[in-house]
Amino acid sequence: MIHPEIEKLLFVQEKDLIFLKISQEIERIPQERALIENLIAKETEATNLARTDLNDKEVARKDLDNQVKGRESDIQKFRTQQLEVKKNDEYQALTHQIEQAQADISRFEEAEIELMYAIDQARENFEAAKKVIDHRIEVQNQQIVQLELRLKQLKDSAEGAQTEYMDSRVAVTNDFIEAYDRTRSQTKRPPYVVKIEHQNCGGCHLRVSNDVLTMASSSQEAVFCDQCSRIVFKA
């Protein structure tokens, strides 16, 4: 027959583990939120990088356009100068400069056309990727909302679970509740009160000594596993 105080401790442990489970889940939620926020930050960074690449191409296209206009202005200047020069070699030199400027314009215009195609493709890729990323971010933000709702529910539950745990302790004698608290502080993980089965501790699953087995069956005090220090009992 189980000692009455052990039965009370088992009830205390039940309430304790319920409260512990809720508390652990409360602790995990900020970590989960941080992971989601990190994903959102990476998604946003990817969008910004794609937008920057598109903007850079637009700037490069405008720069080519400005260079074309600049060389067209040079051609106009050279032709004006040709009307003013008297010597043939000066006229030919200006003609050469005009031809060079025209060649530059052709080169700039070809590069600009290629860049315009690249811009169109980049814009198409950006819009498609942004649509997908925006959807993912929306889903992730909804996950954060759900986490916050879950956190509120858990905190409400934790208050009730803690009250039930504290109330359950009142019925236990000081010696046994102190033994429970001591075991709880020394044991890495629950359970803290376990049954001996086939002379094996229900917590660490190692064999207990004959002395512990005998005391667990008859002692009026808390008995501890000589391997893991959990409170043990024999039904």
Which residue from 15, 1, 4 is spatially nearest to 168, judged by alpha carbons?
Answer: 15
Query: Which residues, 6+ apart, have CB-to-CB distance to 192 below 8 Å?
Result: 13, 16, 180, 183, 184, 203, 230, 231
Query: Which residues, 6+ apart, have CB-to-CB distance to 183 below 8 Å?
Result: 192, 193, 224, 229, 230, 231
**Taking the alpha carbons of 23, 172, 3, 212 in that order, is the dihedral positive or negative?**
positive
For the cut 80, the answer to whether the pLDDT of residue 1 exceeds it is no
The domains found in the chain, sorted by start residue, are: 27-150 (1.10.287)
Say what percent of the chain tops pLDDT 90: 86
For residues 66 and 108, give the distance between their C-alpha atoms in angstroms, rounded to a whole number. Answer: 10
- Predicted confidence at residue 101, as pLDDT, reads 93
**Taking the alpha carbons of 220, 226, 229, 231 in that order, is the dihedral positive or negative?**
negative
Provide the b/e sequence for 161-192 (b: ≥16 CB within 10 Å): bbeebeebbeebeeebbebbeebbeebeebbb
Which residue in this structure is represented by tokens 């206009």?
69
- Alpha carbon distances (Å) from 159 to 6, 154, 164, 165: 25, 9, 9, 10
Instruction: List, for residues 178-187, the tens digit of each pLDDT value.
Output: 999 999 999 9
Instruction: List, for residues 7-36, the tens digit of each pLDDT value.
Output: 999 999 999 999 999 999 999 999 999 999
- Predicted confidence at residue 10, as pLDDT, reads 97
Instruction: List, for residues 24-80, the tens digit of each pLDDT value.
Output: 999 999 999 999 999 999 999 988 988 998 899 999 999 999 999 999 999 999 999
Instruction: List, for residues 101-159, the tens digit of each pLDDT value.
Output: 999 999 999 999 999 999 998 899 889 889 999 999 999 999 999 999 999 999 999 99
pTM: 0.69
The string of DSSP codes covering 172-220 is S-HHHHHHHHHHHHH-SSS-SEEEEETTEETTT-PBPPHHHHHHHHH-S
- Predicted confidence at residue 204, as pLDDT, reads 96
For residues 100 and 193, give the distance between their C-alpha atoms in angstroms, rounded to a whole number. Answer: 94
